[in-house]
Amino acid sequence: MLYRLLTLLSFMLLFCSCNNDKATQNKSNTIGSNELIDEINIRLPRDPQQINPFFAPGPRGREVFQYIFLSLADFHPEDLKLYPILIKEIPKGKIETIAGEECISYEMELKPDAKWSDGVSLTNRDVDFTLKMITHPLGKATGWKPYFSELKAVTLDKENDKKFTISFAKDYMLSLEAATTINLMPAHIFDPSSAMNMYNIMDLVNSEQTEFTDIEQQLFDKINASANDKIGVIQSGPYSLSSHETNQYIQLERKKDYWGAAYPDNPFLASNAEKITFKIVPDELTAVTMAKEGTIDLMMMSQSNEFLKLKDDATFNKGWSFHIPQLMRYYYLALNNKSPILNDRRVRTALAHLADIDDYIENIDGGLGVRTIGHFHPTKSYYNNKLTPIPYDVTKAQSILDEAGWTDNDGDGIREKNINGKTTKLELDILMTGSHLSKSIALLLQASAAKAGLKINVVTKKMSLLRTENLYTYDYDIAMLAIGLDANIDDPYRRWHSDNKDEPRNNIVGYSNPKVDKLIEALRSTKDENVMKKYFFEIQELMYEDQPCIFLYCPLNKMIISKEYEATSTAKRPGYLANTFTKAMKG
């Protein structure tokens, strides 16, 4: 425990120093060719498949698309405050009445020189098209839709095609973040005939339309098919994807004469490397060997013990810097709340007492993690630290299962219960990907569960199959998963509101609690920070009692970067911006 505390303390000191330096700012967008980095090689543990942010790619997709797709604004890697990228400045909202309803409106203006990669200027038409693409019933940008359910108007300036106004319901909690952090799609590529102009945005928000014209269908077939596009994507970021081979590599090339060079202090527009190459290397030990050989310059590691071993290797660490930023991320055991066994809160609570989470952090993850009691990250001001993490207690778990009517009547060591007239064994499958961490946790949980008369079968599956065959069909018991969070205020609607309990891509555990629903709805309708905090606390208290899943801990990112580069890490996902790296000074 002392080692863990010392490790976390050293992390805090490192993290503070990383936040205070300015290395993430690009000082050299106009640097000479002798200073330009030829190529940065980054290890990815698996192929991201999709890189379009509108179609919910995973964390590996994010590592790639951040250099290709730009949003209007984003959270700066140093202070995590909103920072303008495609717009001139972060807008201040103003209250106005639209169609008899009080709204908050954000007037913005695109940078005058912002261009798509084919040379066409970005205009307010691209903003209008993007929002209609998100809100249209045929659009498959499902992860974005909930954030625009309170959208009230999009107004384009008729005199200046760079200006526009986005309006939301007055008290919508995420109005500023939703208005400013959207990525854009090029209207001139996907809708050259301006077919989307026929729609008023309010006709699309929350539309229940089920019949569509041939023109609509063809338009959205084209838009939705772009989810898999890689080569030749028209976008506004500093890099383009030049080549790739599935499960081998993805290579990005710096755009020539890029308009973003005019903004040398903007980290999102930097392009200090001629090429950024992502090498797909599933096996971590193989990746470490490649790092030692100099064919990988940056890699994130999953095995803390290996990471700490390298850090203590005097020969290796001469050429490498070690970073452990606290990413907005947590591990959890998803529990299928629709299961005949797990729909009982008592069984879920008993399972939580069988998870020795402190042991997982200390002995599997090298002490590089912080426990969490729920969905909201411990670094957030509205995290309910009054709630004590559920302790590991086999005796308590046994008592709860007794109360729930699960007993071992036949003496085989496994409890059973009559459910709907049928004797049901207390036997569950835990699905995991087979990584060192997931396998270790699954086996430890299996062993402790057996002490309480609960049989757990460990099943290994590829994540892609696990999603399609199990998670997205609610055909599972337990699944070892991770969720990445963002720097903005959390909106729990998509993951935890019962509106989405039959939408496993959103509410993946099928959770439903009317009291939580009402609090989420109230939360989304206020911008008063004190009131919001009260709602957040109450939501966490109710979910703590319900235990819809077993919240484990928030890991520290484990990243090594070659000392050939001046580079810093960030708490912003995915933990680094390779385009801001510069060559290290020799000497």
pLDDT tens readout for residues 18-37:
333 333 333 334 333 346 79
Choosing from 208, 227, 246, the residue where a domain stops is 227
Judge if 410 and 548 occupy the same domain: yes
- What per-residue confidence (pLDDT) applies to 205? 86
In sequence order, the 6+-apart residues with CB closer than 8 A to the CB of 65 are 51, 52, 53, 57
Interval 325-334: pLDDT, tens: 887 889 999 9
- Residue (of 437, 435, 456, 482) closest to 332 by Cα position: 482
User: In this structure, is residue 401 part of a structural domain?
Assistant: yes
Judge if 577 and 546 occupy the same domain: no
The residues facing 331 across adjacent strands are 482
User: In this structure, is residue 358 part of a structural domain?
Assistant: yes
User: In this structure, is residue 492 part of a structural domain?
Assistant: yes
Judge if 319 and 400 occupy the same domain: no
Largest Cα–Cα separation, the chain = 81
* pLDDT for 511 beyond 80: yes
Of all residues in the chain, the percent with pLDDT exceeding 90 is 79
- The position carrying tokens 């629709």 is 338
Q: What is the signed CA dihedral for 285, 435, 142, 218, rounded to 10 degrees?
A: 60
- What per-residue confidence (pLDDT) applies to 130? 97
Judge if 376 and 476 occupy the same domain: yes
User: In this structure, is residue 66 part of a structural domain?
Assistant: no
The residues facing 423 across adjacent strands are 418
Interval 297-312: pLDDT, tens: 999 998 898 999 999 9
- Residue (of 126, 122, 144) closest to 135 by Cα position: 144
Judge if 368 and 399 occupy the same domain: yes
Choosing from 207, 227, 247, the residue where a domain stops is 227
User: In this structure, is residue 60 part of a structural domain?
Assistant: no
**pLDDT confidence band for 208 (50 / 70 / 90):** confident
Helix axis angle for 284-293 and 304-311, nearest 10°, is 20
Interval 549-577: pLDDT, tens: 999 999 999 999 999 999 989 988 899 99
CA distance 502 to 75: 32
- What per-residue confidence (pLDDT) applies to 32? 34
- What per-residue confidence (pLDDT) applies to 261? 96
Helix axis angle for 514-524 and 529-546, nearest 10°, is 160
- What per-residue confidence (pLDDT) applies to 35? 67
Judge if 398 and 518 occupy the same domain: yes
Q: What is the mean pLDDT of residues 233-258?
A: 96
Phi then psi dihedrals of residue 249, to 5 deg: -165, 160
* Token pair listed for 45: 């543990």
Under 8 Å between Cβ of 68 and 260: no
Predicted structure pTM score: 0.81
Judge if 290 and 359 occupy the same domain: no
Q: Over the Cα atoms of the chain, what is R_g?
A: 25
* pLDDT for 14 beyond 60: no
The parent domain of residue 575 ranges over 2-44+237-326+558-583
Domains identified in the chain, total number: 3
Judge if 345 and 367 occupy the same domain: yes
CA distance 155 to 96: 13
CATH code of residue 22: 3.40.190.10
Interval 89-103: pLDDT, tens: 999 999 999 989 999
Among the listed ranges 119-123, 192-196, 239-243, which one has the minimum average pLDDT value?
A: 192-196
Among the listed ranges 72-86, 194-208, 272-286, which one has the minimum average pLDDT value?
A: 194-208
CA 410 to chain centre: 46
Judge if 180 and 285 occupy the same domain: no
Alpha-helical (H) ranges within 503-585 are 514-524, 529-546
User: In this structure, is residue 52 part of a structural domain?
Assistant: no
* Token pair listed for 184: 């854009």
- What per-residue confidence (pLDDT) applies to 587? 57
Q: What is the mean pLDDT of residues 278-282?
A: 97
- What per-residue confidence (pLDDT) applies to 325? 87
* pLDDT for 417 beyond 90: yes
Judge if 360 and 442 occupy the same domain: yes
CATH code of residue 128: 3.90.76.10
β-sheet with 151-156: strand ranges across: 94-98, 101-109, 163-169, 151-156
Judge if 222 and 141 occupy the same domain: yes
- What's the one-letter identity of residue 174? L
Choosing from 197, 227, 257, the residue where a domain stops is 227
CA distance 168 to 182: 14
- What per-residue confidence (pLDDT) applies to 23? 34
The per-residue pLDDT of the chain, averaged, comes to 91
Interval 456-499: pLDDT, tens: 999 999 988 999 999 999 999 999 999 988 888 899 999 999 99
**pLDDT confidence band for 585 (50 / 70 / 90):** confident
Sign of the Cα pseudo-torsion (327, 547, 338, 141, in order): negative
Strand residues in 409-496 grouped as ranges (E): 416-419, 422-425, 427-432, 455-460, 478-484
Interval 341-378: pLDDT, tens: 999 999 999 999 999 999 999 999 999 999 999 999 99
β-pairing, 427-432 with 478-484? parallel
User: In this structure, is residue 56 part of a structural domain?
Assistant: no
Strand residues in 21-81 grouped as ranges (E): 37-44, 73-75
Judge if 166 and 290 occupy the same domain: no
User: In this structure, is residue 469 part of a structural domain?
Assistant: yes
CATH code of residue 549: 3.10.105.10
The residues facing 250 across adjacent strands are 244, 278
